[in-house]
Amino acid sequence: MLLTTSSNYLSALLCDELELDGYLCNRYVVDAAGRLTGQSHEPLCYGQGKVALAARDAAAHGHGLVDCTFYSDSWSDRPMLEAVGTPVVVNGDPRLRRYAAARGWPRTDWGEA
In whole angstroms, give the CA distance from residue 72 to residue 11.
Answer: 16
How many domains are there within the chain? 2
The answer to whether position 58 is within a domain reads no
- What mean pLDDT is reported for the chain? 96
> Are residues 2 and 38 located together in one domain of the fold?
yes
Tally Cβ neighbours within 10 Å of residue 8: 17
Note the pLDDT tens digit of each residue in 16-70: 999 999 999 999 999 999 999 999 999 999 999 999 999 999 999 999 999 999 9
pTM equals: 0.89
The answer to whether position 19 is within a domain reads yes
> Are residues 41 and 71 located together in one domain of the fold?
no
The answer to whether position 55 is within a domain reads no
Tell me whether residue 105 is exposed, middle or buried, using C-beta atoms within 10 angstroms of its C-beta: 0 to 12, 13 to 18, 19 or more. middle
